[in-house]
Structure 1
């Protein structure tokens, strides 16, 4: 009998169970197998099927959440909102409260936001979390603090209307906003160009007064680089911001920066050519920090087209990558020792490929000439014993030529894999990796985010579409989707346009508008905006934040018709008594969910264009597509 086997053998058998539902049914068979699933089964499933996504040891909830999230990715199930400070807003350092936040005015174009966010557990419950989102709006910094769960928000109950907020639709969350503008900062001159939150090193963060201050480092176009502590309490008053350190830049513009994982060192790109390292102080007192090491990456060379530094990224505690260009070797990797940066990089990467020719494009130089490009964003992939490499060996870069390259420091080749869109070859301005499973890339035009499966060692081990085909082959009641039947589950990359289709946002009165009543000119600029930044609070989070011109878009990978969503999102979900379907008004009570469009590549080289309908229309089965979320429909004739 299966129940008589020791737990060690049961663990080996459990590796072959394909779904979380399989473990649930196994737990119903007898008391001993129920004990095995509770003690070891859920952990086995979460760690084996999602090896590159770390999570807290709430294994049953984690298995539910991660498998649901993977299914939502495969089905393109998402809900997007334009987020904006609302409700009672605290302005610092004045300590004043405002009912409305006004976007920066008087500039020829909207602000270009940079984003950082993190999420931490507030207690030993899966749904009790604290999410901190910060982004720049010109010279201002905006913070959204979302406390989920009863423990994280003392005195809050899901039915207490005083704590309801349009951003919290279906979550029992407490949300408040803080807007910080450094004293004497001027819009257009002191715009924030980069920022990093100094998140807690503890895996569990409690809501205590001692931890009510958020530390962050931000740099500006004018050359200011500061470490500040800002109180994010709702009752913070005047003087709730403290400058802990000022980093000496000699008034050179701060182009990019990155913080080492342990928070002890800061790497920055100053002006067009200088790479500088700074120690990060731990004492809470104002001090001036000078660079511990500086290197002129360009070495004063002016031959060829003008070039500059674009980005920097810590690969590990002793290796630092720098993106520059345009040049034939736009990626440099430096060794960092206790004494500082080495004068010369340990390796320079070109852009020449080793495959059949993703780089062989007619707009590039002939074979006899050196190919040049620029490297913009750099992101690392988490280390994994299954892939057999240490931290920092494998990383991704986004380039001017529209190609995302996967680099491996152990390989002699310039890159070992590449990802690109044959339809849109615009530059890649931002990247966000989700473990070793998926990749989001921000395009330089058309307000488009590109999504790819990474397909690397130690990556995806759970495929909802494969499991779907392995189940019963009984005929579906849904209309057949020809592209899905023809190409099967192996769909290629896909692009999501974040500019809402005109007039597709429904408010509480039933009329339709653009998010936040944007004018025609602003709406047009948003439709053509680059994706300046991408950020996800955690690898297991269903949320992705995208910074476009003058706006921030939140994309939640969740289905509006799912009766069993991630436990984080289901606390206030209600259903109609008769039909059992999700009550849509409780999901989108603020009317902020926008309808987007996407196209995806097929195996035959074509593209399929699809559009979303509103959450209230999702229950109408007419036009539903097999294999997709209920909100997707085949696109009618439509022009962005």
Structure 2
């Protein structure tokens, strides 16, 4: 009998074999063995590789699974090596101000307040007919103003346009934007406007339609709030389903609205007052609702406090809110309920009173049986802990993520699939990054490195990043960006990313918005969808190339790993990093020996590099 070859195997077995291939290189080699296997790889294997190695990060149906694999593997390496380029972003270039669609030569940041503005963020992207064609829409608030950036990438070029909107009678402080959401296009046709939902401190909650082009009018749909200040909101905006908005007004009122921009005014479908629990007949004081979040179209979670049970989840039925919560969560597990015998043998454990600020649902994985249907979510609390909760479990807390060196309150959360958790804290401009895979590693760029010099992994997975520059050039510069006005000590109020597979992460700190582009400066083969290899300026009048890579705008940040010794590392400038590479005398020489041992990006070095950082 003739020996069985790979080409003779049925597609089901070939697909199963693909799940064991650890790297994109191994998939490419499989496709190079024969024409039939090449056809299988292009049709099925790349999608299987993406689904297996990036179960919660990969796009569902990309135009090119091969190109998607390139982006996913390159991005995974950048995150593992903590390789990113950061800069402040604000409107520049092609700017139109609304109402009126007036061209603006230079954007002026808000004035009139004793502290800087608190940015609210949202961002999404749409992919065109090819993986390289895409549009990213970013929106952030600056006091009473909203700034929207549209960035289109096609055929290796990039087009950026800005729209800013400010009500004619708005005043800083009184009319500040407190909530912001971009409404996604429905995909059936191209819209001639960008729709977004904004809520303000003076009680306005509305849908704005910023027109494309030179049209000056901005149609507005108002939600009825009875003049109460808008504290928080969440939008359920999913293709094929009716969009819904839940908002928290005042200290206790939450209301659900349909989202319909064709109407001039929208009244609530249902409203509910979350009253503080009473103690001896007297209501608890100083408690309020801090956040509201859709877990699913029929489940809404509210974060409140101070309270012994600061998370309450409500069912939303066709007739409105159920008056009683579906579930209340404390911030620790109830020993008596879980183990009555253990509880009877010792004193009852006192519940922990705290406040919960952000709540975000955990996105599902693509593996079989992993759909969460809104049952699993994360919360950030005043006590500095991030907790994982599951509505299907009798436990109040399934997993807790903490930083042994800092217990600042958690103000913002962002999950990159089920792999990475990013948290913004209340002080020190500190961003915390946790690995949620609990030791599991679906893909490792080290498998593809093949033992190349310097490609060593990091022992510690969790790390903290200071979102304030330590380089003097970034804080004392002049010109259009005016870095000297930036806050040096801030909370991280908001976090956003266009998708789990996007290389861009945005953070809102006091008076500024930062962009972190995850890519290596010295990577000779960066993801061509988003980046080009960096080149230094050619002389005093030379250009770096792409406008987004101007060296003078790149910030040098600092970070430390969540370990007992907490060694501070700072980023070298892009030029210094490039110059060190050029001065290497041997093929195996490394830029920084400590970075080699840690497996970090070449820009990192131990200590402050001789500059004042604090």
Alignment TM-score > 0.5, same fold: yes
What is the CA–CA distance in structure 2 between the aligned matches of 1:65 and 1:72, rounded to whole Å?
A: 11
Does 1:221 find its partner at 2:201?
yes
- Asked if 2 retains the 8 angstrom alpha-carbon contact of 1:120 and 1:130, the reply is yes
Tell me how far 1:340 sits from its aligned partner. Answer: 0.5
Question: 1:373 aligns to what?
Answer: 354
Matching of residue 99 in structure 1 with residue 105 in structure 2? yes
Q: Pick one of 326, 329, 336 that aligns with 1:349.
A: 329
Indicate conservation of the 8 Å contact 1:623/1:633, yes or no: yes
Aligned: 1:69 with 2:46: no
Contact 2:523 2:533 in 1 (8 A): no
1: distance between equivalents of 2:22 and 2:363? 24
Equivalent residue for 1:78? Answer: 84
TM superposition shift of 1:380:
0.6
1:635 corresponds to which of 568, 582, 607: 607
C-alpha displacement of 1:589? 3.2
Aligned to 2:257: 278
User: 1:544: which partner in 2?
Assistant: 505
User: Which segments of 5 or more consecutive residues in structure 2 lack a partner in the other structure?
Assistant: 336-346, 537-542, 582-590
Is the contact made by 1:272 and 1:308 (CA closer than 8 Å) also made in structure 2?
Answer: yes
Q: Following the alignment from structure 1 to structure 2, what is the Cα–Cα distance between the partners of residues 110 and 516?
A: 15
**Cα pair distance change 1:354/1:47, threshold 3 Å:** farther
RMSD over aligned CA atoms reads 2.6
Distance 1:257 1:447, change over 3 A: same
User: Residues 33, 514 of structure 1: CA spacing in aligned structure 2 closer, same or farther, 3 A cutoff?
Assistant: farther
Q: How do 1:547-562 and structure 2 match up within 5 A?
A: 547-562=508-523
Match of 1:493 among 445, 462, 472: 462
| Equivalent residue, structure 2, for 1:190 | 175
Partner of 2:93: 87
Give the Cα separation in 1 of the matches to 2:184 and 2:441.
28
Encode CA deviations 1:373-410: one digit per residue, 9 max, x unaligned: 10000111122453544310100000000000000111
Q: Does 1:148 align with 2:133?
A: no
Cα offset for 1:30? Answer: 2.8
* Closer/same/farther in 2, CA of residues 73 and 222 from structure 1, 3 Å limit: same
CA distance in 2, matches of 1:348, 1:535: 27
Instruction: Assess if the C-alpha contact under 8 Å between 1:320 and 1:334 holds in 2.
Output: yes
Which of 46, 51, 54 is equivalent to 1:47? 51
| Pair 515,505 (structure 1): closer, same or farther in 2 beyond 3 Å | farther
- Give the Cα separation in 2 of the matches to 1:327 and 1:223: 26
Q: CA deviation at 1:300?
A: 8.0
- What is the correspondence of 1:1-40 to structure 2 with a 5 Å cutoff? 1-40=5-44
Distance (Å, rounded) in 1 between the aligned partners of 2:566 and 2:480: 28
Once the two structures are TM-superposed, the CA of residue 354 in structure 1 deviates from its matched residue by 7.6
Give 1:383's match in structure 2, choosing from 356, 361, 364: 364
Contact kept, 8 Å, 2:375 with 2:392, in 1: the verdict is yes
CA contact (8 A) 2:571 2:603 kept: yes
1:151-170 equivalences in 2 (<5 Å):
none
For 2:195 and 2:92, the matched residues in 1 are separated by 23
CA separation in 1, counterparts of 2:462 and 2:362?
Answer: 19
**Aligned equivalent of 2:342:** none
- Structure-1 separation of matches of 2:54 and 2:427: 33
User: Conserved in 1, the CA contact under 8 Å of 2:276 and 2:287?
Assistant: no
Matched, 1:422 2:404: yes
Q: Deviations over 1:550-583 (max 9, x none)?
A: 100001111111122223124x54779xxxxxx9
Q: What CA distance in whole angstroms lies between the structure 2 residues aligned with 1:217 and 1:259?
A: 9
Partner Cα separation in structure 1 for residue 480 and residue 79 of structure 2: 25
Distance 1:447 1:30, change over 3 A: same
Asked if the contact 1:429–1:441 (Cα under 8 Å) also holds between the matched residues in 2, the reply is yes
Equivalent residue, structure 1, for 2:559: 598
Does the 8 Å CA contact 1:403/1:428 hold for their aligned counterparts?
yes
* Residue of structure 2 in register with 1:153 after alignment: none
Distance change >3 Å, CA 553–CA 575, structure 1 → 2: closer
- Match 2:215 to one of 220, 237, 250: 237
CA distance, structure 1, for counterparts of residue 535 and residue 469 of structure 2: 28
User: Hey, what does 1:359 align to over in structure 2?
Assistant: none
Distance 1:390 1:612 in 2: 39
Shift of 1:260: 1.8
Query: Within 1, Cα distance between the matches of 2:176 and 2:52?
Result: 45
CA drift of 1:119 comes to 0.3
The one-character-per-residue Cα deviations of 1:242-278 (angstroms, maximum 9, x if unpaired) are 11x2111111010011112344321111100111111
Higher mean Cα deviation, 608-617 or 215-224? Answer: 608-617
* Unaligned segments of structure 1, at least 5 residues: 151-157, 159-171, 356-365, 577-582
State the Cα distance separating 1:238 from its structure 2 match: 2.2
- The whole-number CA distance in structure 2 between the counterparts of 1:135 and 1:437 is 26
3-state SS in 2 of match to 1:527: coil
Deviations 1:306-349 (A, max 9, x none): 11000001111111100000111000000110000011111110
CA distance in 1, matches of 2:109, 2:210: 21
Aligned to 1:268: 247
Indicate whether 1:290 and 2:290 are aligned: no
2:143 match: 138
Q: Distance between the aligned counterparts of 2:520 and 2:222, measured in 1?
A: 45
Range 408-417 or range 610-619, more displaced: 610-619
CA distance in 2, matches of 1:534, 1:391: 23
Offset at residue 280 of structure 1 (A)? 2.0
After superposition, the Cα gap between the structure-2 partners of 1:489 and 1:590, relative to the gap in structure 1 and judged at 3 Å, is closer
- Does structure 2 conserve the Cα–Cα contact (< 8 Å) formed by 1:500 and 1:514? no
- Give the match's secondary structure for 1:26: helix
